[in-house]
Amino acid sequence: MPMNPDLEKERQGGTFDVEQLTHILDGGRDKTLKRHFLEQEVLKDPVFRGPDTRFLSREELFGELLRKHVAVIKKTQELSIDDINEASTIYSAAMNNNVGPLTLHSVAFVAPLDLMADDEQKKKWLIPAKKYEIIGCYAQTELGHGSFIRGLETRADYDVNTQQFVLNTPTETAIKWWVGGCVAVGDIGPKFGFGGVDNGYLCLNNVRIPRDNLLAKTGKVLEDGTYVKPENPKVVYGSMLGIRAALPKVGAYNLSKAVTIAIRYSCVRHQSEIKPGCGEPQVLDYQTQQHKLFPLLATAYAFHTVGVWMLDFHSTVMNEINEGHYHRLAEDHVLAAGLKAVINWKTHEGIEICRFSCGGHGYSLASSLPVIYVNHVANSTAEGETVILLLQTAVYLMKCVIDLEQGTPLDPSVAYLDQSFSKSEQWCSDVDMHSLLKAIQFRSKKFTEYVSSFVKKELMATGNQQLAFNKHKVILVECAKAHTEAVIMNAFVTKVDEILQSNPSVGKVLSLLCQIYGVTEILAHSGDYIQYEYLRKIDLDNIQDQLFKLYTYIRPEAVLLVDAFDFHDEVLKSILGRYDGQVYENMFKWAKASPFNKQDQGTFRKYIQQLKQAKL
Ligand SMILES: CCCCC/C=C/C(=O)SCCNC(=O)CCNC(=O)[C@H](O)C(C)(C)COP(=O)(O)OP(=O)(O)OC[C@H]1O[C@@H](n2cnc3c(N)ncnc32)[C@H](O)[C@@H]1OP(=O)(O)O
Ligand SMILES: Cc1cc2nc3c(=O)[nH]c(=O)nc-3n(C[C@H](O)[C@H](O)[C@H](O)COP(=O)(O)OP(=O)(O)OC[C@H]3O[C@@H](n4cnc5c(N)ncnc54)[C@H](O)[C@@H]3O)c2cc1C
């Protein structure tokens, strides 16, 4: 199909090599080539062809996705793929923006086995689980409790005579609920999204399991029932850490898809007039459309950068723990908690903004933006609700203040809290990304000190830490967000600095995005900078002007920057986001193919007939 002339023109501009940026995003040219190979392995294989999942009922969707997910597993085994990113490539190429029914098995059943099973148990369960010879799920949440793990009611009573645990969900609120991939007792019913996952309920009534089913690499129960605590009790929470550490990159992936769709469509869509008689401009030429999308484009790159960094950091810490060193578990936990919470929340807001930016067609499943949204938004609740996780990060920051007072060294990701920040010199109109980073770190430091002063005062008054925290939860959450933004901006600036050395033209365009991210973040909290006397009104006015100027620099690069995400049309599955920009013709073709247009109109006639008989 010929290229839409608008997109063709957009691709003649630009100041950097798109392919080189794709290689950087993939982690190198070889990884891009391998990703292309794996995508083609899926896209050319007829087993992965099937009905357009956007037209399917819940039951049909589950069946089709289970069929495809099994085919994904077979393809992954056939190609002997064990790299998580390569396995994800095969999965994403097949799933058309859906979540597969067996996702929980790999992310929430295999991972804890890997982390907490001893060698014997690994042989017995981990090896067959990795081969899908046994299928598992993660049944922690109950009808009455999800966030508050210590409030869970399920019982596991040890029967010393039979060396068994007797499992019971003694109350209705103890019924296991939301259990993904729980094909046993029952499905919890239709949901907002996640149609491909059978989140189930599980009632336990004197279910007996052998003593050695308790994963025993960390804690264990001896024959006489004595519980031997793990060296570090917090490692028991480790099974939730793996998914949380991976979710920032998942957020980046989903936001990159949404931004690709919205920016390509905004170049194809002409609407209204700027100068009468001069034709309708591309909607991306409106400053308001740029103000919606360019900060999100910058955010997608920022989230990708910090998502890759978080996964590397987490795998380093897990290797240290496997060797018995727990000293970085706390930092890993709070980084994963803060980044998972902030990134997934801002991502679902961003996907919605992308949908709105596409007008009516964004509301059609033809855009796939609704599908990407309803499946992504679960990530702000699942695997740790946003506020719950931010409070974890906030409590850690309060401890950092005490550590600072006591002269205890801080973890590297919070070292800036010990830095002194001079007030900004007059910020002229092109503030660089390093100055923006300093400002964001300054705000986080001041906010942490401010919140800590309130908590300390409360603690003095009540002597109860939980009460003190509970009285200031709103500002504790804001404090955790401010710190997480400092972590994100630091990762983005560090990566862009590195790329400026290796590939100046790519680095330059990314530094513009980094400035857009930093300026947007500062303007979103401008009151704090005035209150802390770090910036003046003139500085904020200057960076507001800078932001609009940055949009003019990014405008000619925008399509190339989303092309660099390199989503194959079949992976993006969006008519608005097609690489060739041939939207209207394919929208009409897609609509005509809808089964709704095929069903006979007997229903319509049957009821409308009644109206006619009613002699209106
Ligand atoms: C692709 C998407 C798939 C989606 C599939 C979804 C699956 C699920 O949703 S599975 C269920 C997920 N559920 C949760 O995430 C529950 C969230 N709640 C909790 O994690 C806990 O209730 C809590 C952490 C919020 C509270 O724990 P609690 O023991 O009641 O009290 P503390 O806050 O004092 O924590 C004790 C201690 O442990 C440290 N810690 C907490 N979590 C972790 C962790 N994951 N890793 C390491 N360390 C952890 C915490 O920092 C405290 O340390 P100290 O302050 O040093 O005592
Ligand atoms: C798509 C999806 C898939 C899931 N898959 C699984 C799975 O496979 N296995 C599994 O075990 N679970 C699963 N879950 C459950 C999920 O882990 C829980 O829903 C999540 O942990 C939130 O807990 P909750 O539902 O009890 O929310 P609640 O904690 O009841 O949250 C309700 C409100 O209370 C607030 N709140 C609660 N406690 C506090 C506090 N201490 N301070 C301040 N505010 C508070 C929250 O911020 C929130 O606004 C899934 C959930 C979803 C949506």
- For the segment 200-227, what is each residue's pLDDT rounded down to a tens digit? 999 999 999 999 999 998 889 999 999 9
Residue 149 CA to ligand 1 centre (angstroms): 7
- The domain that holds 185 is classified in CATH as 2.40.110.10
Answer whether 141 contacts ligand 2 (Cβ < 6 A).
yes
pTM above 0.90, yes or no: yes
Confidence of residue 347 (pLDDT cuts 50, 70, 90): very high
Percent of the chain past pLDDT 70, that is, above it, reads: 98
Answer whether 387 contacts ligand 2 (Cβ < 6 A).
yes
Q: Per-residue pLDDT averaged across 567-571, rounded?
A: 98
Q: What is the pLDDT of residue 115?
A: 87
Answer whether 194 contacts ligand 1 (Cβ < 6 A).
no
Gap between the Cα atoms of 507 and 432, Å rounded: 13
Does some domain include residue 369?
Answer: no
Q: Which helix (H) or strand (E) holds 523?
A: helix 504-524
Does some domain include residue 201?
Answer: yes
- Report which of residues 427 and 124 the model is more confident about: 124
Span of 350-359, 373-382, 461-470, 498-507 with lowest mean pLDDT: 461-470
Angle between helices 29-43 and 84-95 (to 10 degrees): 40
Residue 337 CA to ligand 1 centre (angstroms): 9
Across the chain, mean pLDDT equals 94
Per-residue pLDDT at 614 exceeds 60: no
In Å, how far are 125, 128, 547 from 134, measured between CA atoms? 8, 6, 54
Q: What is the pLDDT of residue 578?
A: 98
Do residues 262 and 354 make contact, with C-beta atoms less than 8 angstroms apart? yes
Gap between the Cα atoms of 481 and 504, Å rounded: 32
Gap between the Cα atoms of 115 and 112, Å rounded: 5
Gap between the Cα atoms of 376 and 398, Å rounded: 31
Return the bridge partners of 205, or none.
Answer: 168
Q: Residue 455 is part of which domain span?
A: 428-563
Gap between the Cα atoms of 293 and 525, Å rounded: 19
Confidence of residue 16 (pLDDT cuts 50, 70, 90): very high
> What interface predicted TM-score (ipTM) does this complex get?
0.97
Task: List strands edge to edge, sheet with 186-187.
Answer: 176-179, 200-202, 186-187
Q: Whose CA is nearest to atom 30 of ligand 1?
A: 150
Answer whether 390 contacts ligand 2 (Cβ < 6 A).
no
Residue of 383, 485, 521, 557 with catalytic role: 383
pLDDT tens-digit map of 453-462: 999 999 999 8
Percent of the chain past pLDDT 90, that is, above it, reads: 85
Of 376, 337, 150, the C-alpha closest to 243 is: 337
Read off φ and ψ for residue 168, nearest 5 degrees: -140, 140
Structure tokens at 216: 């025993």
Confidence of residue 428 (pLDDT cuts 50, 70, 90): low
Answer whether 192 contacts ligand 2 (Cβ < 6 A).
no
pLDDT tens-digit map of 281-328: 999 999 999 999 999 999 999 999 999 999 999 999 999 998 989 999
Q: What is the pLDDT of residue 399?
A: 97
Per-residue pLDDT at 157 exceeds 50: yes
pLDDT tens-digit map of 406-416: 999 999 999 99
DSSP, res 599: S
pLDDT tens-digit map of 458-477: 999 989 999 999 999 999 99
> What is the four-CA torsion angle of 211, 212, 214, 220, rounded to 10 degrees?
90
Strands 155-159 and 164-168: antiparallel
Confidence of residue 423 (pLDDT cuts 50, 70, 90): confident
Does some domain include residue 342?
Answer: no
Per-residue pLDDT at 613 exceeds 70: no
- Mutating to test ligand 1, I would choose from 103, 194, 234 the residue with most ligand atoms within 8 A of its C-beta, which is 234
Structure tokens at 239: 């099974």
Answer whether 437 contacts ligand 2 (Cβ < 6 A).
no
Structure tokens at 110: 């295999």
Do residues 377 and 347 make contact, with C-beta atoms less than 8 angstroms apart? no
Q: Per-residue pLDDT averaged across 151-155, rounded?
A: 96
Neighbours of 367 (CB within 10 A): 28
Q: Per-residue pLDDT averaged across 332-340, rounded?
A: 98
Amino acid, single-letter form, for residue 305? T
pLDDT tens-digit map of 64-76: 999 999 999 999 9
Confidence of residue 273 (pLDDT cuts 50, 70, 90): confident
Does some domain include residue 207?
Answer: yes
Q: Which helix (H) or strand (E) holds 208?
A: strand 205-210
Question: Given 234, 253, 269, which residue is the final one in a domain?
Answer: 234
How far from chain centre, in Å, is Cα 113? 23
**Which ligand gives the minimal distance to the CA of 140?**
2
Question: Given 215, 234, 253, which residue is the final one in a domain?
Answer: 234
Return the bridge partners of 583, or none.
Answer: none
Q: What is the pLDDT of residue 616?
A: 46
The residues, any chain, with a CB within 8 Å of residue 611's CB and separated by 6 or more, are none
Strands 200-202 and 220-221: unpaired
Q: Is the dihedral of CA 89, 91, 96, 100 positive or negative?
A: negative
Q: Whose CA is nearest to atom 1 of ligand 2?
A: 378
- Which atom in ligand 1 lies closest to the alpha carbon of residue 233? 38
Does some domain include residue 407?
Answer: no
Q: What is the pLDDT of residue 597?
A: 86
Q: Per-residue pLDDT averaged across 356-371, rounded?
A: 97
Gap between the Cα atoms of 295 and 273, Å rounded: 25
**Domain tally, the chain:** 2
Do residues 263 and 284 make contact, with C-beta atoms less than 8 angstroms apart? yes
Q: What is the pLDDT of residue 181?
A: 74
Do residues 261 and 369 make contact, with C-beta atoms less than 8 angstroms apart? yes
Q: What is the pLDDT of residue 434?
A: 95
The residues, any chain, with a CB within 8 Å of residue 487's CB and separated by 6 or more, are 306, 335, 338, 339, 413
Question: Given 201, 234, 267, which residue is the final one in a domain?
Answer: 234
Neighbours of 282 (CB within 10 A): 18
Gap between the Cα atoms of 303 and 128, Å rounded: 35
Per-residue pLDDT at 161 exceeds 60: yes
Q: Is the dihedral of CA 299, 305, 311, 314 positive or negative?
A: negative
Strands 205-210 and 164-168: antiparallel
Q: Per-residue pLDDT averaged across 47-69, rounded?
A: 95
Does some domain include residue 290?
Answer: no
Gap between the Cα atoms of 382 and 465, Å rounded: 27
Confidence of residue 233 (pLDDT cuts 50, 70, 90): confident
Residue 208 CA to ligand 1 centre (angstroms): 27
- The domain that holds 443 is classified in CATH as 1.20.140.10
Does some domain include residue 514?
Answer: yes
Q: What is the CA radius of gyration of the chain?
A: 26
Angle between helices 386-406 and 329-357 (to 10 degrees): 140
Does some domain include residue 517?
Answer: yes
pLDDT tens-digit map of 495-531: 999 999 999 999 999 999 999 999 999 999 999 999 9
Neighbours of 312 (CB within 10 A): 11
Per-residue pLDDT at 426 exceeds 50: yes
Do residues 42 and 584 make contact, with C-beta atoms less than 8 angstroms apart? no
